[in-house]
């Protein structure tokens, strides 16, 4: 991994809702140093510590004094993967009225630590209007995004914007589309993809030779030629072996009181993806030390940021910060 050049100031980051370290791994690979990783889930905090990431602040992100006691009273970058249940299509979509909406807590941290840069990550449902809630920003995700989130960022930074990125475009064997919010003293351009749809590359686009083909599930999982990966849907199962995986979630297909991954692997017998296979599809290092019982590991993996995506985004901020200094 590339590191900051000699003489360049290191970008210090406070990360909110750090989870099991997906964003942290990518940001550190981009040359960013963590002043604090804030997370309330004890199993995720144990994973962070076992992975050598930190310093870890275990507790409520609203406890800004506890964060400051570890990180100090300022930072260069604030990253917030504020809870997405409020805006996810898989949830009840209560929007800003959801008590788990972590955006106001992120704004409090911005006002306390006054970073030069901000990066936020959320589900693409944040960009969707609600037919029932529109135009009320408390009930419509897109109205909340435009009328509250972007307004808050523009009130605090000279420049602000967002990108909708797909992790597959950065070498992750999974289609995971996420909204990346950014703000800072200079405008930022989205990171250039490193991978693309093989069909597009085969068409001989002028950009094609510079890009690698998407990484498929079968390739990433090392499946045999006879195996098939099947994504069940409402009508007929769809074979996704030779393409990036659909979004790996928090195992929300419910079977009684047990939450299970919906994707099936067919290779003689029919089985579900294992915890380790889902971690591979998130592009975590194979040695990442997941802590806790199986359900806790599943939750950590399903909620994680793919490290290659956060690395690509982090490199954009590091380059822009060094250009200003």
**Which positions are catalytic?**
84
Residue 136: which of 107, 177, 95, 176 has the closest Cα?
A: 95
Cα of 313 vs its chain's centroid, Å = 11
Residue 137: which of 192, 176, 96, 87 has the closest Cα?
A: 96
**Distance separating alpha carbons of residues 317 and 303, to the nearest angstrom:** 23
CB 69 within 8 A of CB 59: no
**Distance separating alpha carbons of residues 167 and 252, to the nearest angstrom:** 21
Q: CA of 76: how far to CAs of 162, 205, 293, in Å?
A: 19, 39, 35
Q: CA of 67: how far to CAs of 58, 276, 295, in Å?
A: 9, 32, 28
Cis ω on the peptide bond leading into residue 270 (within 30° of 0)? Answer: no
């Amino acid at each position: 991994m590339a590191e900051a050049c000699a003489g360049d100031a290191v970008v210090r980051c406070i990360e909110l809702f750090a989870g099991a370290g997906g964003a942290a791994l990518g940001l550190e690979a981009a040359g960013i140093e963590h002043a604090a990783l804030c997370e309330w889930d004890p199993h995720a905090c144990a994973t962070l510590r076992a992975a050598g990431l930190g310093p870890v602040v275990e507790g409520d992100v609203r406890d800004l004094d506890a964060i400051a006691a570890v990180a100090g009273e300022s930072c260069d970058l604030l990253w917030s993967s504020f809870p997405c249940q409020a805006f996810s299509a898989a949830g009840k979509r209560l929007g800003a009225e959801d008590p788990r909406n972590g955006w106001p807590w992120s704004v409090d941290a911005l006002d306390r630590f006054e970073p030069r840069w901000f990066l936020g990550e959320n589900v693409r449902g944040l960009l969707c209007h609600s037919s029932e809630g529109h135009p009320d920003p408390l009930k419509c995700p897109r109205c909340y995004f435009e009328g509250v989130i972007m307004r808050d960022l523009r009130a605090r930074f000279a420049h602000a914007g967002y990108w909708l990125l797909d992790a597959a475009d950065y070498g992750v064997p999974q289609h995971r589309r996420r909204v990346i919010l950014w703000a800072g003293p200079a405008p930022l351009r989205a990171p250039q993809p490193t991978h693309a749809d093989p069909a597009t590359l085969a068409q001989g686009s002028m950009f094609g030779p510079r890009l690698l083909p998407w990484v498929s599930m079968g390739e990433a999982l090392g499946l045999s030629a006879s195996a098939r990966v099947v994504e069940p849907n409402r009508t007929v199962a769809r074979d996704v072996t030779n393409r990036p995986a659909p979004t790996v979630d928090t195992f929300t297909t419910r079977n009684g009181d047990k939450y299970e991954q919906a994707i099936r692997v067919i290779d003689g017998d029919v089985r579900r993806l294992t915890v380790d296979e889902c971690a591979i599809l998130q592009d975590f290092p194979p040695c990442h030390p997941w802590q806790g019982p199986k359900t806790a590991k599943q939750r950590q993996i399903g909620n994680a940021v793919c490290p290659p995506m956060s690395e690509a985004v982090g490199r954009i901020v590091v380059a822009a910060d060094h250009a200003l200094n």
